[in-house]
Structure 1
Amino acid sequence: MREEPAAPAMNAGQRALEKIRRERAEQKNAELQRAREVLQQDKQVQQAAAAIPEKVAQRMGKRMIPFVGIPLFLSMGVFVGFWYMATYRYMSFEPSLVAASTILILVLGLLGITYSVMSTSWDPDREGSLLGTDEFSRNVDNIKEGLTRSRDNAVLRDKLASDREMQLALSKMDQEESKKKKNISLESKLNDELE
C-alpha cells in the first residue's frame, strides 16, 4: 500500500488565512439561513392573516372605557359648562380658551386610546395588572424589537433581491435539503418494508 504524503505544516499566515476563510464561510452560511427564514416567514404571513385574539381585543375594549370614556365625557362636560356659564351666568369667555380646554381633554382621550391598547396584555392567557404598567413596558419593548427585526429583514430582502449569488446559493441549499428529505423518506420506506 502506498502511503499518502502528510500535509505540509501550515505556517502562521496560512493558519490565519484559513481561519478568515472559515469565518467568512460561516458568516455566509448564517446569512443564507437568515434569508431563508425571512422567506419562510414571508410565505407564512401571506398564507395566514394576522388578527388580534378575541380575548385580547375584549381586554383592550374594557381598558378603553375608563381611559377614553372619562376624557371624552369630561371634554363634553367642560364645553357644556362653558356654554352654561356664558348663557345663564352671563360670563364671557374667549373662544380660544373654550377650544383649547376641550381640545386638551380630547388629546388626553387620544393618549388614553394609545395607553389602553399598549397597557393590555397581548398574551391571551395572561390577564395583566389593573393599570398595566408592566404590560405597557413589555409591549413597547416588543414593538421596538419588531421594528428592529423588520428593518433587518428589509435590508436582507434588498440584498437578496440584488445579489444573484445569494439567490443561487439559497436555491442550491433548498435542493440539497429536498434531496436529504427524499433520502430520509426513501430510507424510512425501505425500513418499513423490511419490517
Structure 2
Amino acid sequence: MPSDSPRNSLPFEPNRKRKKAAGASEGKSVQNLNKDQRQSAQAQAVQKSAKTSSSTRTSRTARSEASIPEGVSRRMFRRMVIFSGVPTFLGVGVFFLSYFLLINQILDVPKYAVFLTTLGCFGLGVVGLSYGALSASWDEDRLGGWFGASEFKVNFGRLTEAWRTSRKSS
C-alpha cells in the first residue's frame, strides 16, 4: 500500500500521537517555599488533581472509543482459535499416536520424524495466531471472506505502513 495514498482509518485507530506527561519537570520543590507559597502550591495541586480526575474520565472514554470493537475482537478470536488450535491439536495428536504405535509395536516410527512433525504442527499453530488476527475483517460492518486472504492483504499493508511511519518518527 503506497504511503502517499489516503486511506480510511478504522474506528479503533488513534487519530493523533499521545503526549508525554510533564510531571517531574514542573516547578520548585514545596519544601523550599515559605508558608504563603506552600499554601498557594497546595491550592494549585488541588486544582490540578481535580482537572486530572476529570481528564482521567475523558481519557477512559477516549480509550473505550479507541479500543477494538466487540464484534471485531470476537471475529479475531474465533479465527485465531481455528487457525492456531487445529494445528496445535494435530501436533499433540501426532505425538500421542506415535507413542501408541511405538509402545504397542505396531509401527516403528523414527524419533526424528515424530519430532519434526510435531514441531511443524506447533510452528503452524504459532503462524496461525498471527494469521487469525490479520485475516479477520477489522471493519465492524463487514464479516469478510471465509479464508480471509483479501483481509490479510489489507491488514498486513496497514501494519507495515504503521511500522514504517513509527520508524520515520523515531
For this structure pair, what is the TM-score category when the shorter chain's length is used for normalisation?
A: 0.5 to 0.7
Q: CA deviation at 1:117?
A: 0.6
Match of 2:155 in 1: 139
Q: CA deviation at 1:90?
A: 4.8
Deviations 1:45-86 (A, max 9, x none): x94445322111100111123212211221121111101110
Amino acid at match of 1:43: K
Higher relative contact order at CA 8 Å, sep ≥6: structure 1 or structure 2? 2
Match of 2:19 in 1: 43
The structure 2 residue matched to 1:125, chosen from 117, 121, 141, is 141
The structure 1 residue matched to 2:123, chosen from 81, 84, 107, is 107
Match of 1:64 in 2: 80
- Using structure 2 for the length normalisation, give the TM-score: 0.59
1:97 aligns with 2:152: no
- Using structure 1 for the length normalisation, give the TM-score: 0.52
The percent identity for this pair of structures is 34
Amino acid at match of 1:55: G
* Conservation of the 8 A alpha-carbon contact between 2:85 and 2:125: yes
Q: RMSD across aligned C-alpha pairs, in angstroms?
A: 2.3
Match of 2:132 in 1: 116
Match of 2:96 in 1: 80
Which is higher, the Rg of structure 1 or of structure 2?
Answer: 1
Deviations 1:104-159 (A, max 9, x none): 111111111111111011122221111111110000110111112212222xxxxx
Q: 2:17 aligns to what SS in structure 1?
A: helix
* Conservation of the 8 A alpha-carbon contact between 2:81 and 2:129: no
Determine the C-alpha separation between the residues in 2 that align with 1:79 and 1:70. 14
Match of 1:4 in 2: none
Q: CA deviation at 1:93?
A: 3.2
Q: CA 1:90–1:131 in structure 2 vs 1: closer, same or farther (change >3 Å)?
A: closer
Q: How many residues align?
A: 114
More helix by share: 1
Give the unaligned 5+ runs of structure 2: 1-15, 21-55
Q: CA 1:151–1:84 in structure 2 vs 1: closer, same or farther (change >3 Å)?
A: same
